[in-house]
Amino acid sequence: MELYQKNIAILLENNYEEMEFWYPYYRLKEAGAEITVVAPQATEFRSKNGYPAKADLTADAADPGNFHGVIVPGGYAPDRMRLFPAMINFLKEAYNHGSLVAAICHGPWMLISAGAVKGRQVTGVPTIKDDLENAGARFVNQEVVRDGTVVTSRIPSDLPAFCREIIAGLQEN
């Protein structure tokens, strides 16, 4: 498989965007990756539409060095994730370790909190353009952007390009 022996964390909180969580979850699993869902608590969370997903591991118990990549889905979950220092620290340590970090929609809010966008070209849902620029990023409005180990995307219809770029980045890393 394409991603055999690659460990990927997908971050989770309430009000996540279903497609932005489940599409990468199954696409990367299909490619052979081991997926671990990381959240503030090891419990069940609900999407914006009430669809459940369960966390495997808490952020404070997860070792960022064990993951080749971390994905931050959008919806309003990233805004909630930023309330938990362990979530930010997990992402920040993974980024500093050289792991691929990917975020879609409002997910780049977590990249901002983790210090992963300054000086980088990124995208995201257009409503967070100012936030990204104020954090020192160069915002572009395109379906996917990869700048080093940071992959960003805008909306659910960009998911095919987002996942292709994540897979390409993981294969190189």
At 6-21, the pLDDT tens digits run 999 999 999 999 999 9
Please, which residues bridge with residue 111 across strands? none
What the block records as the tokens of 64 is 């960022």
- Strands (E) in 32-163, as ranges, are 34-39, 44-46, 52-54, 57-58, 69-72, 100-104, 121-122, 138-139, 144-147, 150-153
Radius of gyration of the chain (CA): 14
- As a whole number, the mean pLDDT across the chain is 97
Residue showing tokens 């022996």: 5
Identify which has the larger pLDDT, 141 or 172: 141
Rounded mean pLDDT, 132-141: 98
The 3-state DSSP class for residue 123 equals coil
Share of the chain above pLDDT 70, in %: 99
Question: Which phi and psi (to 5°) does residue 116 adopt?
Answer: -105, 5
Supply the pTM of this predicted model. 0.97
Question: Which phi and psi (to 5°) does residue 159 adopt?
Answer: -55, -40
Q: Is residue 105 annotated as a catalytic residue, yes or no?
A: yes
Pairing relation of β-strands 57-58 and 34-39?
parallel
Asked whether the predicted pLDDT for residue 168 surpasses 80, the reply is yes
- Residue 35 pLDDT class (50, 70, 90 cuts): very high
At 72-88, the pLDDT tens digits run 999 999 999 999 999 99
Q: Rounded to 5 degrees, what angle do the CA atoms 32, 37, 42 make?
A: 145
Q: What is the per-residue pLDDT for 107?
A: 98
Q: What is the per-residue pLDDT for 1?
A: 58
Q: What is the per-residue pLDDT for 4?
A: 85
Asked whether the predicted pLDDT for residue 173 surpasses 80, the reply is no
Pairing relation of β-strands 7-11 and 150-153?
unpaired
68, 97, 105, 163: the catalytic one is 105
Rounded mean pLDDT, 22-43: 97
Q: Tell me which residue of 115, 120, 119, 118 sits closest to 95, measured CA to CA.
A: 115
Q: What structural domains does the chain harbor? A: 7-172 (3.40.50.880)
Following CA atoms 136, 140, 143, 147 in sequence, which dihedral angle do they give, to the nearest 10 degrees? Answer: -50
What is the distance, to the nearest Å, from the Cα of residue 23 to the centroid of all Cα atoms in its chain?
A: 12
68, 97, 106, 163: the catalytic one is 106
Exposure letters 143-166 (e unless 16+ CB within 10 A, then b): ebbbbebbbbbbbbebbebbbebb
Per DSSP, 139 falls in state E
Q: What is the per-residue pLDDT for 115?
A: 97
Q: Is residue 97 annotated as a catalytic residue, yes or no?
A: no
At 23-32, the pLDDT tens digits run 999 999 999 9
